[in-house]
Amino acid sequence: MLLLADKVVFLTGGTEGIGFECAKVYQQAGARLCIVSNDPRSISRASLELGEQTTEFVLADVSRSRDVKHAIAHCLTVFGQIDVIHNNAGISSPSKALHETSEEEWRKLFEVNVGGIYNTTFHGIDALKKTGGNILNTGSLVGEIGQEIHAAYTATKGAVNALTKSMALDYAPFGIRVNAVAPAGVITPLLRSWSRQQPDPESVEDYLNHIHALGYCPEGDVIADACLFLISNMARFITGCILPVSGGAELGYKKLSSKQNHFHDL
């Protein structure tokens, strides 16, 4: 039995990294997808692999209310319903301490990582009320434990955790569940780019493997499998959960050297 048969998933940031792995898993589970991205090139690449028979792509910026309103309306026009909103789109730059972070950098992080959730909820909640659907937010372990030289980013992920719990309470009367996944390190194109920017790039791979108790830094598919569980009926009595999909990284944060003491979930 397909876990997402007859379900429509509205997925932001679904053309790269964790989001793209989720798109593939959701599609395999029987879902119809409306995928939002602000990158035309990544949409083109994703459409080649996912096809367009059960998948719609919308070029939009989740930090812009009017873009999200249009994307939600398009999804409803094409598919007639929304059963899941997965807020996966996010940014991580800059890698700076708080006093080094510009007002523009601070604003942009919150507009995308937190404002995106506001926008999809504001424009999509009525559709979810009709289906008794659910919301999934992509958080991060650093929202719980912090991270050096990423103060603004970790602040947004802490906000995602708090939002998830409060939204779970607000929407439970409508039968709407709200959860989040909290990865640690995940190998994605953005993480590879981040690794090259570190003071000692050659040692980052070894570091990322060792921060996880299970001994390796995973690909995005392990996060996608957890996301599939949370949005499916298998998790029908789970809400307000911040699920760590972290290989045990939170059990003992390992600092290998002063040059490589950060991890990243994008």
The residues assigned a catalytic role are: 153
Could you give the CA distance from residue 246 to residue 254 in angstroms, rounded to a whole number? 13
Contact 250/140 with Cβ under 8 angstroms?
no
Helix (H, G, I), strand (E, B) or coil at 134: strand
DSSP state letters, 137-201:
EE--THHHH--TT-HHHHHHHHHHHHHHHHHHHHHGGGT-EEEEEEES--B-HHHHHHHHTSSSH
C-alpha distances in angstroms, 138 versus 6, 63, 93, 127? 23, 15, 17, 21
- Whole-number Å distance between alpha carbons of 156 and 112: 9
Measured distance CA(207)–CA(253) in Å, rounded: 11
Residue/partner pairs of 198-202 with CB below 8 Å, 24 or more apart: 198/259, 198/260, 198/262, 199/259, 199/260, 200/257, 200/259, 200/260
**In the 8-state DSSP scheme, what is residue 10?**
E
Q: What is the CA radius of gyration of the chain?
A: 18
Pairwise CA distance, residues 23 & 190, whole Å: 17
Query: 177 forms bridges with which residues in the sheet?
Result: 134
